[in-house]
Amino acid sequence: MPSNATSSRSALGAFSFYYGKLLDFILALSVLVLVFPVSLQIFSRFTSLIPHYIWTEEMARFLFIWTIMIGAMVGVRDNIHFDVDLWPDIGRRGNALLNLSGRIGVLVLAYIFIYAGIEFTRFAWHRTSELAELPLWLIHIAWPLTGLTWMLYAGQQAYADLRIVLGAKQ
């Protein structure tokens, strides 16, 4: 019978997996939807076929922010952000120690995103955008959500690296 720690780790792993799939879908959808207001902007500027819509600029900016934030979440999850390889082959534990130091940096930045993002969102809670009249918290909440997602994925990766540093076999 699995222990509570084992079952909670597997539940977290399942959550991480399905949350990652959801992020992939939302990222693809946000890029796809972003094409619409940007295309309207371009066509309205260079042709007189359609009127100039003001809301498209604001909608494109909002979608672009979310696309960047979701892309950053996926980048941390997949560990695909760039890194500079300065060290020769220093072995499995040495590489894990270097990775752990980088992940600690990501976790610190995630904490800043969460803390400052909550304040940022609270500031925008009762405000609306000027053109599209959208609640601004819908945009501002991207920062703490990004921080929480980084905590989840970088935390799992840091745990795996720490196990290697401490001598775990797997």
Q: Convert the pLDDT of each residue in 99-111 to its tens digit.
A: 999 999 999 999 9
**Interior/surface letters 5-20, b for 16+ CB within 10 angstroms, e for the rest:** eeeeeeeeeeebeeeb
| The predicted structure's pLDDT at residue 170 | 59
| The predicted structure's pLDDT at residue 97 | 92
Q: Which residue has the higher pLDDT, 7 or 146?
A: 146
d(CA 37, CA 58): 9
Least confident segment among 55-59, 122-126, 135-139, 152-156? 55-59
Q: Which residue has the higher pLDDT, 113 or 40?
A: 113
What band does 8 get if pLDDT is binned at 50, 70 and 90? low
Average pLDDT over residues 26-51: 85
Average pLDDT over residues 125-150: 90
Mean pLDDT of the chain: 87
Q: Which residue has the higher pLDDT, 41 or 143?
A: 143
pTM for the full model? Answer: 0.84
| The predicted structure's pLDDT at residue 57 | 81
* pLDDT > 70 fraction of the chain, expressed in percent and rounded: 91
Report whether 110 contacts 151 (CB < 8 A). yes
**pLDDT tens for residues 44-90?**
777 777 666 677 788 888 999 999 999 999 999 999 877 777 777 88
Amino acid of residue 149: T
d(CA 24, CA 74): 7
